Amino acid sequence: MKNESIKACPRCGSVRLRALSLREGGIPGISEVSGLFYCNDCGKHVVPVIFQNMNEYRKFLKGLGGKTHI
């Protein structure tokens, strides 16, 4: 079984995240360390929550109160 971690937005639960580019305030080397991402769904800069598997991710989504629209 493949163990692929899942990065999700802590605000809305979206997995549509991408690393910040320079123009968006990302700093080479440092942004990788701080792990700042842009969430395509809520449009915020977020530090993603990492899940080791789908079950943990689903639990997190439930905790969000069903606000997510994935």
The answer to whether the beta carbons of residues 6 and 61 sit under 8 Å apart is no
Q: Is 39 in the site for Zn ion (CB under 5 A)?
A: yes
Sole window of 1-9, 29-37, 47-55, 61-69 interacting with Zn ion (rule: CB under 5 A): 1-9
Q: Is 9 in the site for Zn ion (CB under 5 A)?
A: yes
Residue 30: strand, helix, or coil: helix
Residue 70: strand, helix, or coil: coil
Query: By C-alpha distance, which of 34, 44, 35 is closest to 14?
Result: 44
Sole window of 18-26, 31-39, 51-59, 60-68 interacting with Zn ion (rule: CB under 5 A): 31-39
Q: Which of 12, 20, 37, 51 binds Zn ion (CB under 5 A)?
A: 12
